[in-house]
């Protein structure tokens, strides 16, 4: 299923109780939108074919953060040399009822993971 993140993410992915969950926010939070805990397996694939498996977290109206999974035996995955800010990609999130896909842009890559911004759906 392909969707427009800003119009359909919550309806397609989050059950009603999670949509009403209190946002996680700090006094120093400068984000454009509130963030919510959102933990699901996901795969990011860039237009040039680079892939990263991980888990989503901290979803908002504008994007989310992807934490890459460790490799076999807990070895670190070298996602920082593969995924770059500005890369366009597809994010496939595994949720109850089947996968949901969104187009996105890589905003930031650091040792903790990958910040993604939702792009308008097709």
Does the pTM exceed 0.85?
Answer: no
Cβ(52)–Cβ(68) under 8 Å? Answer: yes
pLDDT at 3: 44
Looking at the DSSP bridge assignments, the partners of residue 105 are 88, 117
E strands, the chain, are 41-46, 51-57, 63-68, 88-95, 98-110, 113-118
pLDDT at 107: 94
pLDDT at 10: 46
By three-state DSSP, how is residue 4 classified?
Answer: coil
pLDDT at 61: 74
* Domains of the chain with CATH codes: 5-18+33-118 (2.40.10.220)
- pLDDT (tens digit per residue) in 68-115: 988 777 777 788 888 999 999 999 998 888 888 989 999 999 989 999
Mean pLDDT of 26-31: 49
């Amino acid at each position: 299923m392909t969707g427009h993140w800003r119009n359909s993410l919550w309806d397609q992915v989050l059950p009603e109780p999670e949509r009403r969950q209190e946002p996680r926010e700090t006094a120093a939070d400068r984000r454009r939108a509130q963030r919510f805990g959102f933990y699901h397996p996901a795969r990011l694939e860039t237009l040039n074919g680079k892939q990263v498996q991980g888990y989503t977290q901290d979803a908002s109206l504008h994007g989310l953060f992807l934490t890459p999974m460790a490799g076999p035996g807990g070895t670190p995955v070298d996602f920082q040399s593969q995924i770059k800010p500005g890369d366009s990609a597809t994010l496939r999130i595994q949720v109850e009822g089947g996968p949901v896909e969104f187009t996105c842009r890589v905003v930031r890559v650091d040792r903790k993971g990958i910040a993604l911004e939702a792009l308008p759906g097709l």
